[in-house]
Amino acid sequence: MKDITCIEDLRQIHKRRVPKAFFDYVDGGSYAEETLRANREDLQKIKFRQRILVDISQRDLSTTVLGDKTNLPLILAPVGSTGMQHGDGEIHACRAAQAAGIPYTLSTMSICSIEDVAANVDKPFWFQLYVMRDRGFCKALIERAIAAKCSALVLTVDLQLLGQRHADIKNGLSVPPQLMKFKNIVDFMSKPAWLSGILRGKSRNFGNIAGHLPGADDLASVSAWVNSQFDLSLNWKDVEWIRSIWPGKLILKGIHDVEDAREAVRTGAQALVVSNHGGRQLDGAPSSISVLPKIADAVGSRMEVLFDGGIRSGQDVMRAIARGARSCMIGRSYIYGLGAGGEAGVAKALDIIAKELSVTMGLCGVNRIDEIGPQVIAEG
Ligand code: FNR
């Protein structure tokens, strides 16, 4: 691990170790990938003011999110099928997050179930909910998250229907799944470390769903059921319903417009995540970083504003905080680490970003996260 110095190094190792179908699933975005690229490009356009001769000996990366202390302004974002990047991937990622002192978010579409993760980690984690047409199933999922002592519910609101990812269709990640194509089997066999981890893992299906519905046990039937569950009628009233049955902290993920942010304030949720789903949904939407300042202004202190989309370095975290984010979710950056080396790979990703953030703060003359503001950004 010592020659790994940046997230791109982890990405390259992930690409070598994990079959193409699963690497492409992580790396790509929807349609022409305009928004995926904009997320990165617009972050890189933000330049810092280099400050000198400030005492930067007391730098501290800790902060709070929803009243809880975190060691870094980072949260692991919900990522579906994490357990196909590495056997028991969700457990590895959650353990690395907890060791680093930051929250981990388990996706509804995880491979390990809520119960699998809860039984194998020390502390509570966050649970992300997709609202499906079968509201009884949603309610049961929320009850399972309560029973597992999940400490926040992240309600994702930007996926009422799916943006197309061309590579997934070509690779057989479709409904029904066509993974057993000859070229995929050859690829799986040529990745023995990955394959043995997957075969030893607790699950190779969507663990929160398989076995919890009559007649939906194998991957094909579970995928078909999920595909039938997208709810085009989902609206703000459903958020009220979720609010009424989830007693804990509620976070709305996928807010990308000032009007929606104002509406989000009225729901009683404690936080929102400015997100375009990592460029995987509405292609042609502006970058997340470009909409963040207006949303942060509109919300003020009434909700905490979290951010994701394109974070690949500590410099990017600094940029998002300077533009109004309280903390940043990362998706691909930690999944590259997971694919490259399981729990140790995720820990490496977090360490890389933390060190980059610490140095960037120092060179901008800042000691604490709450000192990061517009003053660290160079004009023009
Ligand atoms: C995601 N994302 C996501 N979001 C969510 O709410 N539920 C989910 O199941 C998933 N699944 C998922 C799979 C993969 C492979 C990726 C890359 C992303 C979106 C994710 O939570 C987050 O918004 C983005 O990943 C942020 O962008 P970056 O950090 O990947 O650039």
Domain extent listing, the chain: 7-376
Q: State the pLDDT confidence band at 60, using cuts at 50, 70 and 90.
A: very high
What is the residue with the minimal CA distance to atom 4 of ligand 1?
A: 78
User: Which residues are known to be catalytic?
Assistant: 277
Q: Is the CB of 319 under 6 A from ligand 1?
A: no
H or E element in which residue 48 lies: none
Q: What is the pLDDT of residue 379?
A: 85
Q: State the pLDDT confidence band at 174, using cuts at 50, 70 and 90.
A: confident
Nearest CA to 330 among 82, 31, 45, 139? 82
C-beta of residue 22 within 8 angstroms of C-beta of residue 84: yes
- With 0-12 CB in 10 A as exposed, 13-18 as middle and 19+ as buried, what is 140? middle
Q: Minimum mean pLDDT among 61-75, 88-102, 180-194: which range?
A: 180-194
106, 280, 306, best to mutate for ligand 1 pocket (most atoms within 8 Å of CB): 280
What is the residue with the minimal CA distance to atom 1 of ligand 1?
A: 79
Q: Minimum mean pLDDT among 1-5, 297-301, 369-373: which range?
A: 1-5
Q: Is the CB of 279 under 6 A from ligand 1?
A: no
Span from the CA of 375 to the centroid of ligand 1 (angstroms): 30
Tokens 């509620």 -> residue: 250
pTM of the shown model:
0.98
C-beta of residue 121 within 8 angstroms of C-beta of residue 98: yes
State how beta strands 105-106 and 126-129 pair: parallel
Q: Is the CB of 336 under 6 A from ligand 1?
A: no
Report the alpha-carbon angle 14-17-18, nearest 5. Answer: 80
> What CA–CA distance (Å, rounded) separates 124 from 101?
12
CATH topology of domain 7-376: TIM Barrel (3.20.20)
Relative to the CA of 253, which ligand 1 atom is closest? 6
What is the residue with the minimal CA distance to atom 24 of ligand 1?
A: 278
Span from the CA of 49 to the centroid of ligand 1 (angstroms): 31
Q: What is the pLDDT of residue 212?
A: 92
Asked whether residue 115 carries a pLDDT value surpassing 80, the answer given is: yes
Q: State the pLDDT confidence band at 217, using cuts at 50, 70 and 90.
A: confident
Mention every residue, 6+ apart, whose C-beta is less than 8 A from residue 205.
111, 217, 218, 219, 222
Q: Is the CB of 19 under 6 A from ligand 1?
A: no
Q: Is the CB of 282 under 6 A from ligand 1?
A: no
Beta bridge partners of 330: 76
Q: Is the CB of 309 under 6 A from ligand 1?
A: yes
